[in-house]
Amino acid sequence: MAGHSKWKNIQRRKNAQDAKRGKVFMKLAKDIYIAAKQGGGDPEMNPSLRLAVDKAKASNVPNENIDRAIKKATGDLDGANYEELIYEGYGPGGVAVMVEVLTDNKNRTASELRHAFSKNGGNLGENGCVAFMFNRKGYIVIEQSTTDADEDTMMLEVMEAGGEEMETSEGAYEIYTEPEDFQSAKEQLEENGYTLETAEITMIPETLSEASEKDALKMVKLVNMLEEMEDVQEVHHNLDADEEILVQI
């Protein structure tokens, strides 16, 4: 998973900037909506909702926005009905791309995605065309500067919490779990006093795809364009490129 770590190291530095984007509240509210729609409006009984609420609070989403999203999902307020969908395709140079969306109009969303891929040298594909290249995993980051635990101690605590794997890179412990073990591992590490820099369920590429500098720069434009779309929740890819190019995404 070293390639994934390389990408996530850059993504961590970008989190503070992303949190300032105007659309982040809407995207997080949609996460809450779909989690409550699927599993009920009680975070204590719905781990997906609890995770979505935690992410929203970490980004300073007001409590009234969180409550409103839950009430819409449970029928206490009128609102749009959203669908959670995943689109797959290829970016420039054959880079695998998966796009998670939450939309109340899938025809509009598909059209916008198709335009973005086409404009930047890629193309949307059929369902399943790249999904086999990714694994869904829990992903937790603990900055070494926030703990006195050495690597051996950290590894032991991660294993006891139900973690599957741990890597140390760029001043951080990166922890991977199976999706079903994520919530319990997260809670155990928090109870042990650790501050989690990142805690999410995400898609990990099994292998990375090298691209020429020209294609990598096109890929930067594609990912940035996708992430600017209101319906897009997450963009996953397996691009391998120099850090100075990846940091532009």
148's enclosing H/E stretch is: none
Higher pLDDT pick, 10 / 241: 241
| Domain residue ranges in the chain | 2-73, 83-132+206-246, 134-205
Q: In 3D, which of 96, 131, 132, 89 has the Cα closest to residue 113? A: 89
Amino acid, single-letter form, for residue 119:
K
Task: Tell me the fold of 134-205.
Answer: Alpha-Beta Plaits (3.30.70)
Closest CA to 233 of 87, 66, 92, 95: 87
pTM for the whole structure: 0.75
- For residue 21, the model assigns a pLDDT of 53
Query: How confident is residue 14, by pLDDT bands cut at 50, 70 and 90?
Result: low
Class of domain 2-73: mainly alpha
Rg (CA), the chain: 18
pLDDT at 16 exceeding the cut of 60 = no
Q: Where are the beta strands (DSSP E) in 119-197?
A: 123-124, 134-143, 165-169, 172-177
Q: What is the structure's pLDDT at 30?
A: 84
DSSP string, 49-106: HHHHHHHHHHTT--HHHHHHHHHHHTTSS--PPPEEEEEEEE-GGG-EEEEEEEES-H
Same fold? 83-132+206-246, 134-205: yes
Q: Which CATH superfamily is domain 83-132+206-246 in?
A: YebC, transcriptional regulation domain (3.30.70.980)
**Average pLDDT of the chain, as a whole number:** 87
What pLDDT score was predicted for residue 9? 57
Residue 15: the pLDDT is: 58
Task: Express each pLDDT in 176-199 by its tens digit.
Answer: 999 999 989 999 999 999 999 888
How many other CB atoms are there within 10 angstroms of residue 234's CB atom? 18
* Six token digits for residue 62: 């007001």
C-beta separation of 70 from 36 below 8 A: yes
- The answer on pLDDT for 11 being more than 70 is no
Q: What is the largest CA-CA distance in the chain?
A: 52
Specify the pLDDT at position 13. 55
Q: Are 140 and 175 in contact (CB under 8 A)?
A: yes
Indicate if the pLDDT at residue 96 is higher than 90.
Answer: yes
Task: Report residue 136 as tokens.
Answer: 């869904």
Per-residue confidence (pLDDT) for residue 92, from 0 to 100: 95
- Confidence label for 61 from pLDDT (cuts 50, 70 and 90): confident
**160-182: average pLDDT:** 92
Span 133-149, average pLDDT: 93
